[in-house]
Structure 1
């Protein structure tokens, strides 16, 4: 069975933490790559009040096979009590790029 590609997203209110979450997921091969969007303003309900914050969105390109481990890793490393975690299916893309995502997000086989 061929792995399906997904984009998983979270947000955080600290640029350095965004970089840590992006780089760590890629270093651990939980995602082939991660993009950090420019800061934006988020407006949301939290504990019975409307909050406004500056946040950075991190978008991970990964496979459905790696998604549970990526989600657990982000949840463990994230500073929010309830971090955003959504996934978007990738319905089409270039075969070369999608194959690259599968290859680069696969666990490394140890030589032996």
Structure 2
């Protein structure tokens, strides 16, 4: 039995497909669980920080 861990990664919607593709390339599972959550509210300065760090 494999040990499993939850990993939260913050990115933009525009970059999510590329991120999922990379996870699938690197992960040992045939179908790793990749799910997304859309942020509908949050601190504007925090949301801007994510955009600045990830880039567009």
Same fold at TM > 0.5: yes
Structure 2 unmatched ranges of 5 or more = none
Where is the strand percentage greater, Structure 1 or Structure 2?
1
Matches within 5 A, 1:4-43: none
Residue in 1 that maps onto 2:50:
101
Residue in 1 that maps onto 2:8:
59
Does the CA-based 8 Å contact 1:63-1:102 persist in structure 2?
A: yes
Count of residue pairs brought into register by the alignment: 56
Residue in 1 that maps onto 2:34:
85
When Rg is computed on C-alpha atoms for both structures, the one with the higher figure is: 1
Structure number with greater CO (CA < 8 Å, separation at least 6) is 2
CA distance in 1, matches of 2:29, 2:18: 18
Structure 1 unmatched ranges of 5 or more = 1-51, 108-112
Residue in 2 that maps onto 1:48:
none
* CA displacement at 1:106 relative to structure 2: 1.3
* CA displacement at 1:82 relative to structure 2: 1.1
CA distance in 2, matches of 1:91, 1:69: 22
TM-score (norm 1): 0.46
Return structure 1 stretches of 4+ with deviation > 2 angstroms. Answer: none
